Amino acid sequence: MLLKNKRVLVTGGCGFIGSHLVDRLIELENEVTVVDDLSASTMEYIEGHMNNEDFKFVRGDIRGKKVLQENCADKDAVFHFAANPDVKLSVNEPYIDFSINVIGTMNLLEAMRLNDVGLIVFASSGGTIYGDVEVYPTPESHIMKPISVYGASKATCEMYISAYSECYNMKGVSLRYANIYGPRSIHGVMHDFFWKLKKNPSELEILGDGKQNKSYMYISDCITASMMITEYILNSQMNYDAFNVGVSNQIEVKKIADIIANELKLDDVQFSYTGGQKGWKGDVHKMLLDITKLETLGWKSEVKLEDGIRMYIRWLQEMFG
């Protein structure tokens, strides 16, 4: 079964990853409905689809049951990408992640059950659900031990999706993403460094000690891998599965700063550090996902990390000067 000419719901489809996913689903000639409350995004990246008769946008909050029940009707699959995108915000306002991520996901699963929707593809989080680990690269079998409220909410959603998949004969798959970056992203260390250097080209404050070592995946690779996994679960005998989605290498935060400064042609940037292993409470200072399982599907990364960072910074310059 190919995900083509299907009726698909995408929650959070106006956001960074979600909007790129919508583009790919439209390319595959699916009928796509997006539900997004625009609290963390705009309609900018779906505007090109608004005149497409196979595309529909609904402004709505996934904490509202009615909007989900109405828009799950007659759907073949749901891509669930709506969430609070700000990990740091959840530290100071922990109920936000429970409210949006957990309650919203439960509302969606119930709407799917009542409408007999057969597949949910969930945007989870690789680094935050595993927490601080000693096993590198970290496989899907590793215990979940979140150290942030955001990670706890994603892990909770995975458990409910697994349970619903078994109890109600759905198929579900969790995509445990590495740090995804690229055009349309308005969060993350690369975005922050760009704006700090735009404000002050001579100095850059780096949270933590700059030695945080993590894995980063370019958005086009992310979407290709996500679609490959979706095809796998559709053809699998399993009701539920989880995949790490990332690349096989990692990079220190200070090296990212060096690349961005070089791309911006800034030769004498003075770096300063706030100190400590972690940039903020709940930060995972070291992360590398084991992607062996993904690679068994035939997936290979196409974008080298430094090339991707430079492409993203060029996009930010083009968009914001």
136 is catalytic: no
Q: List the one residue out of 142, 118, 115 whose CA is nearest residue 130.
A: 142
Q: Where are the beta strands (DSSP E) in 82-236?
A: 119-125, 171-177, 179-181, 203-206, 213-214, 216-218
| C-alpha distance from residue 16 to each of 12, 156, 180, 181, 285 (Å) | 9, 23, 9, 9, 23
Going by the DSSP 8-state scheme, the letter that residue 142 receives in this structure is S
For tokens 């057969």, the residue is 118
- Report the C-alpha gap between 286 and 250 in whole angstroms: 9
Residue 318: exposure state from Cβ atoms within 10 A (0-12, 13-18, ≥19): exposed
Among the listed residues 130, 150, 177, 240, the single catalytic one is 150
Going by the DSSP 8-state scheme, the letter that residue 289 receives in this structure is B
Asked whether the CA dihedral 236, 238, 239, 244 is positive or negative, the reply is: negative
| Tokens at 260, concatenated | 């961005």
**Residues belonging to the active site:** 150
